[in-house]
Amino acid sequence: MILLGILAASGAGVTGSVAGYVAGGSTGSIISTVDKFAFPGDSRTTLATGLSSARYGVAGMSNSSVAGYVAGGSILSTVDKFAFPSDSRTTLATGLSSANIHGAGMSNSSVAGYVAVGYNGSFISTVDKFAFPSDSRTTLGTGLSSGRNSGAGMQDNAVAGYFGGGNNNGKFSTVDKFAFPGDSRSTLGTGLSTAKDSLCGMSNSSVAGYFAGGGVYTSTVDKFAFPSDSKTTLATGLSSARYGVDGMSNSSVAGYVAGGYTGSYVTTVDKFAFPSDSRTTLATGLSSARAQGAGFQDAA
């Protein structure tokens, strides 16, 4: 299945407890919309100021209680920054090290955000690191274990970040782990339960990280327990099998999987309560049916 070119997904950023955001994506047309879900009630508003340009295949990351970021997409190097709690937007003077699409993001709380995987004519193994709060960018000496796009990111704050899945002329089950603060990389002995792309990540910091959806058309949610990284698969997956999903988290409370493509675009937002992992579906979904955006969150 091809959706506006190359399949995509972005991972969730750091865990949080104030609000979660879903930015950009495709409704069949590329959009700049940013939806905000206030925790814990999950009421939805749409920011008056969206992305600096309409784009899809973007990556999200977060600096706890300070700002959220939306990086790349539509083969651009742009990184938009949304300051908390005002949600005012600026665009970083220094963007990604290369313009790309279908990247993924993860974060180390108030220390740094990372953007990896993607496609710019070649499959990317580069990992860009943005130091908080200066937003200065460096590129890790050790990138991903292989170049790929359409993966997802999640993290155990202050401990490690993970990039899972992806595509490089074939789907991956690989999960690469970057230990904080040195950013040394290892690859988990047990990867995803199935090789897939266009999935998303969400995190319950210090407890577990999750990779959800993807495919084409899967409802599977894999759970990696911290710090052992042992994997289980939730008995209850997504409410529908889909790919191109976006993830966000409210640490110790719930993780969210938003939007996606099931043969048509959806507005669905599934919520997984921590620590039981029981699933409900929000009465109010996204403001428009879409896929291939980015999730991030404001942490308390």
Q: Where are the domains of the chain?
A: 19-298
Confidence of residue 161 (pLDDT cuts 50, 70, 90): very high
Average pLDDT for the chain: 94
CATH no. for 19-298: 2.120.10.80
Is 74:55 a contact under the CB 8 Å cutoff?
yes
Neighbouring-strand partners of residue 19: 38, 298
pLDDT digits (tens, 9 = 90+) for 50-87: 999 999 999 999 998 999 999 999 999 999 999 999 99
Confidence of residue 251 (pLDDT cuts 50, 70, 90): confident
pLDDT digits (tens, 9 = 90+) for 12-54: 333 447 999 999 999 999 999 999 999 999 999 999 999 999 9
Q: How far is CA 269 from CA 6, 259, 261, 281, 289, in A?
A: 23, 6, 12, 6, 10
Strands 152-156 and 160-164: antiparallel
Q: Which amino acid is at 117?
A: V
Mean pLDDT for 283-290 is 97
Q: What angle do CA 82, 197, 263 make, to 5 degrees?
A: 90
Mean pLDDT for 179-207 is 97
Confidence of residue 9 (pLDDT cuts 50, 70, 90): very low
Confidence of residue 7 (pLDDT cuts 50, 70, 90): very low
**What pLDDT, on a 0 to 100 scale, did the predictor assign at position 300?**
57
Neighbouring-strand partners of residue 184: 179
Confidence of residue 90 (pLDDT cuts 50, 70, 90): very high
Nearest to 255 by CA among 281, 273, 237: 273
- Please give the share of the chain, as a percent, with pLDDT higher than 90: 91
Mean pLDDT for 118-135 is 97
**What pLDDT, on a 0 to 100 scale, did the predictor assign at position 230?**
98
Mean pLDDT for 273-278 is 97
Does the pLDDT of residue 1 top 90, yes or no? Answer: no
**What pLDDT, on a 0 to 100 scale, did the predictor assign at position 109?**
87
